[in-house]
Amino acid sequence: MDNRPVVFIDSGIGGIPYAHFFHSRNKREKLIYAADRANFPYGPRSRENVIELASGLVKKLISKYDPKILVVACNAISVSALAAMRETFPGLPIVGTVPAIKPAAGKSLKRRIGVIGTQRAIEDPYIAELAAKYAPDCTILGEPAPDLVNFVERFWLASDGNERILAVKPWIEKFLAKGADTLVLACTHFLLLKEEFRSLGGEKLKIFDSMEGVSRRAESILDEKGLRSTLAENADDPLFIVSGEQPPEPHWEQLCRRFGFTMETDL
């Protein structure tokens, strides 16, 4: 048994649905969500820069919080830096966020799979490697969507349903025009627009993400390594910490309250 925290990381707010989903299933676990606000966004950065930033973030988290498991709730970090981070921190179990190419391939009748994410995630060879392994007979239609990432990061909380629909609709239309019948949300930010993607995609464009798979993988590691917590359920609110010297904008505190986190700014 181990009462140290499970730590989730992302460049911004995108991994919140992943952390919230995990917490809903594992209420005894102490949870910390770390957002590298000071270096957001990671999407336009080079692979080398993402490795440097993510590794630096994890070093700080290890020093301050001694996590028992790390969940990389960010596709850009996962596709670029996961292997390097596992080499750098061999004693820390690390769960990455893998774009859901495999389940999408299992449901695609047209064998044309859309993938929407950050520029870093879409351009990384890892997407092609996943496709070669799990969808060799499929055409992968990758589209970077930095404006949509920015919408989620800056405006999602204050937006209404119509504004969210308007933000997602052009992307649904683009993938349908290209003949896709499945769409992989390869950026964790887009999970906050999951219902809009699903309602607009309907039966023509089925939507896939990796949120449940990531949670199951983290849970299996906790069980296999005997790392389950002995704390009482909901003993502590999940902790949300952000980097950056400047005080966080008001929407960060609003997000924390909405998802039941307590916020600190000590990264």
Separation between Cα atoms, residue 159 and residue 128, nearest integer Å: 34
Q: pLDDT tens for residues 130-141?
A: 999 999 999 999
In the annotation, is 256 catalytic? no
Q: pLDDT tens for residues 89-113?
A: 999 999 999 899 999 999 999 999 9
Q: What is the pTM of this model?
A: 0.92
Beta bridge partners of 112: 139
Is the pLDDT reported for residue 77 higher than 70?
A: yes
Q: Which fold has domain 101-209?
A: Rossmann fold (3.40.50)
Nearest to 211 by CA among 43, 20, 83: 20
Is the pLDDT reported for residue 238 higher than 70?
A: yes
- 171 close to 163: Cβ distance less than 8 angstroms: no
Question: Omega of the bond prior to 41 within 30 degrees of 0, cis?
Answer: yes
Domain with CATH 3.40.50.1860 in the chain: 6-97+212-264, 101-209
Three-state secondary structure string covering 167-224: HHHHHHHHHHHCCCCEEEEECHHHHHHHHHHHHHHCCCCEEECCHHHHHHHHHHHHHH
Q: Is the dihedral of CA 98, 44, 160, 249 positive or negative?
A: positive
Catalytic residue among 16, 35, 74, 148: 74
CATH 3.20.20.140 at 6-97+212-264, yes or no: no
In the annotation, is 74 catalytic? yes
Catalytic residue among 152, 185, 187, 256: 187
Nearest to 154 by CA among 266, 260, 41, 71: 41
Note the pLDDT of residue 266.
67
Nearest to 11 by CA among 34, 27, 35: 35
